[in-house]
Structure 1
């Protein structure tokens, strides 16, 4: 299927692995030019090399989404390498502080919200002038099932992702008339380095093998996931690729859940 994004320029944060990396691969296949960003330049360049993109179609610049100064430097690098972007995929995020509410201190809350809520706010703010310029633009923010179905042992993350959903809805109402469409994708328990780390921690705490940790997490913590496995990053990336395409020209302000049924409500 031709997604109509040949020649479009995309920035993907959180792009060195997982959902961001797989999204980059799909957008490159569809003819887009891609800029990958993440915290570590060395890791980022290794990840970019694995994509084996044609020369001049893929760039990698490290940036910290919690720093406006760092994001301003990223914008300068983007402008010098590809010009203004047409597509923004904000995938950078962390699990953040975990535990029951009474076990999480102010620093845990602040750090989680700085990365998972204010990070997207800062990234959008930094690149919004690009996205408003061409009369055609796409923003996809990575939220989570946790944003609409909170869990008691990761309330800061859940709160941040609920905020991302509200941010998306507000942006969608403000800028659609200019041709800039904004949507969210909300995954659940995807096979990424972040959930790998969660399962390593669970296996140590519960004295389980890694596979047993995954299996018991699904049964104990995610009982509504009717497809009893972790999702794959490319299964999320496929939905993102659709949302940033011309095929999604009438989709705005939507939250696409890629969660195997994890959210119990309609």
Structure 2
């Protein structure tokens, strides 16, 4: 399907991760010029090698986004490389501290909220002028099932994602009349380095291997994932690419769940 975005320019944050690099691949294949940003320059280089030879190569701009100044610096660097962007995919995120609520301190909460919520706010603020100048824009936030179905051992992450979902919905009301549409994608248990780390820890605790940990997690913690497997990052990327496209010209303020049915409510 032609998504109608050939020639557009996109920024993907958190681009070195599983969903980020697959989103980059999907956009490049649609003829979009893509800037990849992440904390580690080495991780970005590895992601570029993973992408292989395509019609155009992504531009790499490392940034940690821990401060508003860093986000503004990223905006200036991107503008110098490619000019104004048309598409912003906010994919930066971490699981952060997990465990019982009484064992998680302020620093842990600040770390997760800064990375998962405030970095998206900062990047959006930094790039909004470019999106508004173009008169056509797409902003997509990579969220999580945890935004609407919180788990008691991941409360900082859940709270940050709920805040991000509310922010995206509110923002979708602000600039739609200027052509800037805002949506979210909420995956559940995708095969990425983030969930690999979770499952490696679970495997150690249970005295099993990775496959055993995944199986027990699905049975005990995610019983509504009807397909009985981890999602593939490209399955999330395809939905993100659609929301970035001209095909999604009447989609605004939506949250697309890519979760195999994991969220149990309407």
TM-score above 0.5? yes
The 3-state SS of whatever aligns with 2:47 is helix
* CA offset digits 1:158-195 (Å, max 9, x no partner): 00000011010111001101100000000000000000
Partner of 2:242: 242
Q: CA deviation at 1:42?
A: 1.6
Q: CA deviation at 1:72?
A: 2.0
Q: What root-mean-square deviation, in Å, do the aligned CA atoms of Structure 1 and Structure 2 show?
A: 1.1
User: Which runs of structure 2 are paired with 1:131-210 in the superposition (5 Å)?
Assistant: 131-210=131-210
Partner of 1:109: 109
Q: Distance in 1 between matches of 2:170 and 2:60?
A: 30
* CA offset digits 1:111-136 (Å, max 9, x no partner): 11111111111111111111111110
Q: CA deviation at 1:57?
A: 4.5
Q: Distance in 1 between matches of 2:163 and 2:190?
A: 21
Q: Is the 8 A contact 1:28 1:53 kept in 2?
A: no
Q: Is the 8 A contact 1:32 1:57 kept in 2?
A: no
Q: Is the 8 A contact 2:96 2:112 kept in 1?
A: yes
Partner of 1:121: 121
Q: Distance in 2 between matches of 1:87 and 1:231?
A: 24
Whether 1:251 aligns to 2:251 is yes
Partner of 1:49: 49
Partner of 1:260: 260
Whether 1:8 aligns to 2:23 is no
Q: CA deviation at 1:46?
A: 2.2
- What is the TM-score of this pair, normalised by structure 1? 0.97
Change (3 A) 1:104 1:13: same
Q: Distance in 1 between matches of 2:173 and 2:259?
A: 25
